[in-house]
Structures are given as C-alpha cells and as structure tokens.
Amino acid sequence: MSTWRPISPPPFWKRWLPEWLHGPVRLLFQLSLSGLVLLSGLAFFYFMLAMRFDLDEVARLPAGTTFYDRKGVGITAPGGIGRTLVKRGDIPDFLVKSLRAREDARFFDHHGVDLRGLARATVRNLKDRDFTQGASTLSMQLARNSFKMKQKSLHRKFLEIALTLRVESRYSKDEILTHYLNRIYFGAGADGIEQAARTYFGKPTRDLTDGECALIVGIIRGPHVFSPLRNLDAAIEQRDQTLKRMAAMGFIDEARREAIAAEPVRLVDDEQRETQTSYALQAVRRELDRILDEGQIQLGGLHVYTTLDAAWQQRLETELNTAVEDLEREKSWPHPTLKDHVQGTKPAYVLFAAITTETRSGGILALIGGRNYSHSRVDCTLSRRDLGSAFEPFVAAAVAERGKLVLPGKPVQTGRQIGPAEVERLAKRCGIAGPFLKTEDLFRGSVAATPMEMSVGLATLGNKGKRPKPFLIREIRDAADEIIYTATSHFTQALSQGAALDATSVLSRRNGTRAFTGATGSERDAWTLRLGPGGATAIWIGFDKPTAIARETRLKSLLDEFVQRLGNE
C-alpha cells in the first residue's frame, strides 16, 4: 500500500522571509503569545482585585476631622462652615476649563486612563529610575483619593488603573468632575471646592470670578505651599500658569488672559473668614498642618487628640472676662459685645491673652488668644509685649544660676550681681526671646516677650530647670482608628534645679499655687504668672495699641483677685 502524501507548502511568512529569519520570528511569536497570556492574566487579577472595592465610596462625602481634648471629650472642630457638597450646576464653566488645562487636558476624551500621558510618564520614570511622573487623570486621582491609596508602587498604579476603569463605567464625566472637586483638599482647612471658595473669597463656588477659579485650581498641586493665605505671590504665580495653559489650549485668547491676570486678588477679610472656631483650635489646625502633609489630611476621618483641657480653658476664660469687665465698668470703657467696637479699631477695649503649659510634658492645657474670636483672629499669645516687673522671676533665675543671692522684690539689686548681658543670656535659655535692653533698665523689665514664651519660661522654673517644647497635639488616628502620630515630649536643661527653685521664691504662695502679678511702668501692659500643681499659666492684659489701662496698684489688685478666684487647680 502506498504511503505517499503530497508535501504541504510552507507557511506564507516562511516564503516571504529569508530562511535565517525563520527561527527568530518563531521565537518572537511564541514570546508575544506568552506575553499576551501573561498580560491577560495580570489584567484579570487586577480586575478581580478592583471588584472588592465599593464604588459607592466615590460619591460619599469623606468624614471630617474630629478634635478631642486631653480627656477624650469632643471639641468643636475648625471649619465653621464645614465641608459642603456642590452640584454640577454650581461649578462655573471657567473653573472646569481651568481644571482641564492644569490637571487633565483630555478629560472628556479618554476613558479614565490617558494612554499618551501614561506612556510619556513611563518613559520619564524609567529615565529617572523613580516615580517622578504619575500621569494621573482626574478620574485616577478620584479613585486614589476615594480609596486612600497613598504608596507609590507598580502594584498601586495597576490597581489604581483597574479601579479608574470601574469608576468610569459607573459614573458620568460630570459626576466624576463633581465628586473630585467635592473631595479634594484646598489648604487652610478647606475640604472641597465649596469650603475653599468661602475660605478664600467669602462666596459660594457658583459666584467665583474667572480669576478666582484659576487661582483655586492652581492651589491643587500644593495646598499648603500655594495657599494664598500662606503665600499670595506663589498662589498668583500658579493662577498665571493656569491661565497660560488655558490660552495655549484655546480656551481663552491672549487678551482675555492678560485681562484676568491684571485683576487684583480680593481675599476675604480675616474678620469674615469662617475657617476656625476658636484661638485654640486655630493653633491646633496650624500644628496639624505641620505634622501631616495635605494628602493625609484630605483623606478625611482623622481623630486628633489634643493636649487641651476644655474645662480649665473655660474656667480661665470666664474668670478673665469677669476681671476685665469689672475694670471696664470702673472706667466706663466700651465692651466688645458692641459690634462697632472691633478689636484693633477705635474706640478700643481691653484685651487679654492666656496660655497654660503643662510643666511635666510641654502640652498646652489652655490657649486664649484674645477676647473675642469673632472680632479678631489675631492670636495674642504670639504677640510681643513689654514685661515690666513680670520679668523679675527670670532675673532671679539668672542670678541664682550664677550662684548669687536672690533678693525678692529688688530686681535691680539682684541683677547687678551678674550684669545685663548675663541676665539676657540666661533668660534666653528659659525661652524669652526679647528684644532686651542692654542697660540696667533690663532688670526693671525693659524686655518684650509673648505670653507663649512666658508660659514656657515659667514652666521651666516649675520643671526643675528643664525647658519643655510646647505642643498641642498628642495623638492622631486615621479613619480606621490606626495611630499615625504620637507626640513625644522634648526638654532642654536651661537651668540647674537649685536655680529654678530659688527663682520661684519671688512668686507669692496662694492656695497651693505660686503667682506673680506685675505691670510695666507705663501701665500699658499687665501680667500674671501662675505656677500651679500641673501647669504654668501666663496671662497678659492690655490694649491692641499700647495705652495706659489703670494705675499699677489697681491692676495688681485686680489680678490678685483673679488669681484668688482661680484657686489651686
């Protein structure tokens, strides 16, 4: 039986290619097929991984930051207006164009992933051997922010892409745009576009001018660095870059760009800005901004445990108000509840500031930056005022450190034993920054300090000469209740234990506490230093613009009564 069969002709590609290329082409085909299988498997893996995420989270409003006092009691959070959702119809068309020009030019053309930008960024990252370029579209940024993906890695990028494709299939472009603007952080405690518009310009999003839209969009890449409240020049530069991009993309012409760039930036007045609710929480927010980056803050759901003692703060503020109101009645001065008597304008009214620092840790137990927060946001605990006789404890500390005799009630004789230069040097070690007068008038209190410095300096005397570093936040937890920050107390040995003890001999003992009341010779500034069992309190009373308050004897009497009412807590 015949076994002959006709020989099959070779495949067409073998007939077209030289024989020496047959092997390489076959290998290339096999590798391509294997790569396709691998890529399909990888895509399936990340698709299944992305399916675990609840896409409803994209539309949910991120939880705000919650603040607590040292005992775990919730306290009013900064951000009086809170995070507010806007609808697509509230967003000006110019803001949308600004956002496209700055963040995602092809937003309405791609399906969540801009392949051109991704390829460009990949080449750049390979060249830099680092993740310097992300090529993130608005959809990708929304997916990343919604599901709290912070780390930079290939795994995170692949998962982000898979999630982005799911987001794009679930939500319309307008919905993605709106959710993005409602979610992101714009600096200065502003979460979302509506709070940003009100924080910076005192108006709702729908009323923003073209220039204001461009400026707010410019903030996005660096909410802290480019906030106009921190650096107006940098914010204006970012606005101008946004406008240039808009002109390059044909959204506006050069004439319109120049006209917008020439418009003055009109930020809302400090007195009308509703971003904080008290001096203490204003300070807490500043410290939070220093501890965490904007990415961590904008994720929302933070629990910030402060060092504040809400009960002590309330008591301190109440008693201070009572003391000053008594003085106002004596002098027939205006009261701050009258709306036309605003801090810093005439007719002026008496102001005060107070701060209590825990001696053993440096945690701030109370911070009262002024008399009426709704009238002025200026934190007077950071304002430098003349000390007068309130400087005597630090003259005593310097002299005791040098082994000389402390003479209570005689600061000039006490200070002469070591001279002004040495008193200045040792006072600085206690935290008093000055400026200092270089003559013997320094012993009489010719030096300026802030209530914050005086509280820290007094805490140094009460802490055996160890100067604490003040802080307001002791712990931060994220939305999952995981600890992401814990404060550590820091101390500097400023004086010997014996010198610190000798310095407190100039303080009067009252109800288990030690206190010192004093005023400047001009009677423009009055001070109370109170060293209690746990905290060092510095209190200043005066006018915004230095003006005589009352006779020094009356001021001391007033402050003595105040200390007596506070008791020994």
> Could you tell me which of 148, 170, 174, 172 has the C-alpha nearest to residue 159?
148
Between the CA of residue 204 and those of 36, 192, 209, 219, what are the distances in Å?
A: 51, 12, 11, 17
Query: Please, which pLDDT band fits residue 350 given cuts at 50, 70 and 90?
Result: confident
Whether residue 227 contacts residue 219, with contact meaning beta carbons closer than 8 Å, is answered with yes
Cα–Cα distance between 303 and 323 in angstroms, integer? 36
What dihedral do alpha carbons 289, 295, 300, 306 form, nearest 10°? -30
Whether residue 518 contacts residue 445, with contact meaning beta carbons closer than 8 Å, is answered with yes
Whether residue 522 contacts residue 389, with contact meaning beta carbons closer than 8 Å, is answered with no
- Most confident range (mean pLDDT) of 24-33, 49-58, 167-176, 369-378 is 167-176
Q: Indicate the SS3 state at residue 147.
A: coil
Cα–Cα distance between 386 and 441 in angstroms, integer? 12
List every span in the chain annotated with CATH 3.40.710.10.
Answer: 312-471+489-566
Whether residue 431 contacts residue 456, with contact meaning beta carbons closer than 8 Å, is answered with yes
Residue 199 CB coordination number (10 Å): 26
Where is average pLDDT lowest: 22-31, 147-156, 343-352, 462-471?
Answer: 343-352
- Give the pLDDT confidence score for residue 304 in this predicted structure: 93
Residue 20 gets the label, from left (phi > 0), alpha (psi -120 to 50) or beta, of: alpha
Where is average pLDDT lowest: 141-145, 295-299, 337-341?
Answer: 337-341
**Beta strands 66-68 and 303-306: pairing type?**
parallel
What dihedral do alpha carbons 453, 455, 459, 461 form, nearest 10°? 70
Mean pLDDT throughout 246-271? 91
Pick the residue with more confidence: 13 or 481? Answer: 481
Cα–Cα distance between 379 and 279 in angstroms, integer? 6
What dihedral do alpha carbons 308, 312, 316, 319 form, nearest 10°? 160
Query: Which tens digits make up the pLDDT trace of 498-540?
Result: 999 999 989 988 777 888 887 777 778 889 999 988 899 999 9
Whether residue 489 contacts residue 361, with contact meaning beta carbons closer than 8 Å, is answered with yes
- Residue percentage of the chain with pLDDT more than 90: 46
- Give the pLDDT confidence score for residue 470 in this predicted structure: 97
User: What size, in residues, is the chain?
Assistant: 569
Cα–Cα distance between 486 and 475 in angstroms, integer? 4
Q: Is the dihedral of CA 252, 255, 260, 261 positive or negative?
A: positive
- Give the pLDDT confidence score for residue 154 in this predicted structure: 76
pLDDT exceeds cutoff 80 at 142: yes
Which residues does 229 contact at the CB level (< 8 Å), separation at least 6?
Answer: 187, 188, 200, 267
Cα–Cα distance between 179 and 412 in angstroms, integer? 67
> What residue type is assigned to position 421 of the chain?
A
- Give the pLDDT confidence score for residue 549 in this predicted structure: 77
Superfamily of domain 82-274 in the CATH hierarchy: Biosynthetic peptidoglycan transglycosylase-like (1.10.3810.10)
Where is average pLDDT lowest: 10-24, 268-282, 466-480?
Answer: 10-24
Cα diameter, the chain: 136
- Most confident range (mean pLDDT) of 101-110, 191-200, 380-389, 417-426 is 417-426
- Give the pLDDT confidence score for residue 489 in this predicted structure: 95
Between the CA of residue 318 and those of 313, 367, 510, what are the distances in Å?
A: 9, 13, 20
> What residue type is assigned to position 118 of the chain?
L
Q: Is the peptide bond between 264 and the residue preceding it cis, with omega within 30 degrees of 0?
A: no
Cα–Cα distance between 81 and 89 in angstroms, integer? 21
Burial of 484 per CB tally in 10 Å (0-12, 13-18, 19+): middle
Query: Residue 165: phi, psi to the nearest 5?
Result: -65, -35
Query: Please, which pLDDT band fits residue 294 given cuts at 50, 70 and 90?
Result: low
> What residue type is assigned to position 11 of the chain?
P
Where is average pLDDT lowest: 150-154, 177-181, 510-514, 515-519?
Answer: 150-154
- Give the pLDDT confidence score for residue 432 in this predicted structure: 95
Cα–Cα distance between 179 and 169 in angstroms, integer? 15
Q: Is the peptide bond between 435 and the residue preceding it cis, with omega within 30 degrees of 0?
A: yes
Residue 346 CB coordination number (10 Å): 9
Supply 94's token pair: 């110019």
List every span in the chain annotated with CATH 1.10.3810.10.
Answer: 82-274
Architecture of domain 312-471+489-566: 3-Layer(aba) Sandwich (3.40)
> What residue type is assigned to position 43 of the chain?
A
Cα–Cα distance between 492 and 508 in angstroms, integer? 26
